[in-house]
Amino acid sequence: MAIFAANWKMHLGPSEVRQFAQRFSAKVPPRPGQRLVFFPSAVSVEAATEAFAARTDIEIGCQDVHWEPKGAFTGATSVALAASAGARCVLIGHSERRHVFGESDEDTRRKVRAVLDGGLDPFLCVGEKLEQREAGETERVVVRQLEAACDGLSPAEAGRLVIAYEPVWAIGTGRNATPDDAAAVHRTIRSVLTARGGESVPILYGGSVNQKNVQALMARPEIDGVLVGGASLDPDGWAEVVTFGQAV
């Protein structure tokens, strides 16, 4: 089952989410085997949950959580708080969390553990920076990030992951890995997951995905879906990405 996931980052407040849901739902009706995931800002998680409540093919996630269940962590969201607002999954290790906010591999491991323990599903992001890619370090970086986040997981727990390969140099830049490039990294990720009992884990691609390139990406059997930022902010445009991607 292909997954089409939208990361809205720091956009779309509650009223905008409700308007988005109405227009998007009119353009992309429910269909068997469809899995659509939206990651709104934390302040819009509950609004998105309510707006899409009638759609069993749609799930809402949280863009980030803290690994502690509660405490004096101003500005942070716990797994339990995310779940109470309607979130069913959580983005972990997005490149902006790693490289803008300075989160470490150990931070991602703690968050994966907390999300699994809290009954939600982790969407784990991995990917290399441009200088790492140019130095031929893509595989090393991606494997390191993946192994660190999966440390201590049982095969059953590893099977609950969704992985998103997002080359940092392609996020929001208009550049994207070619389908062949993405597929090669996905094969590496698959080999790591298979060794941990996660052979059926979906692996998504993210990085300047849009209406023009989604079909070429989804045509590759190694790519199980996409995680999209900018192109998911407009309901008409996101409906086209989903529709074009499903047509492969």
Catalytic residues: 94, 166
**Phi, psi torsion values for 36, nearest 5 degrees:** -115, 135
How many CB atoms are located within 10 Å of the residue 211 CB?
16
SS3 of the chain: helix, strand, coil, percent, to 5: 45, 15, 40
Tell me which H or E stretch contains 36: strand 35-39
100, 85 Cβ separation under 8 angstroms = no
Cα angle value 117/115/176 (rounded, 5°): 150
Nearest CA among 51, 70, 69 for reference residue 60 = 51
- Specify which residues 164 forms β-bridges with: 125, 204
Distance of alpha carbon 124 from alpha carbon 109, whole angstroms: 10
Task: Give the number of other CB atoms < 10 A from CB of residue 102.
Answer: 8
Residues 6+ apart with CB under 8 A from 29: none
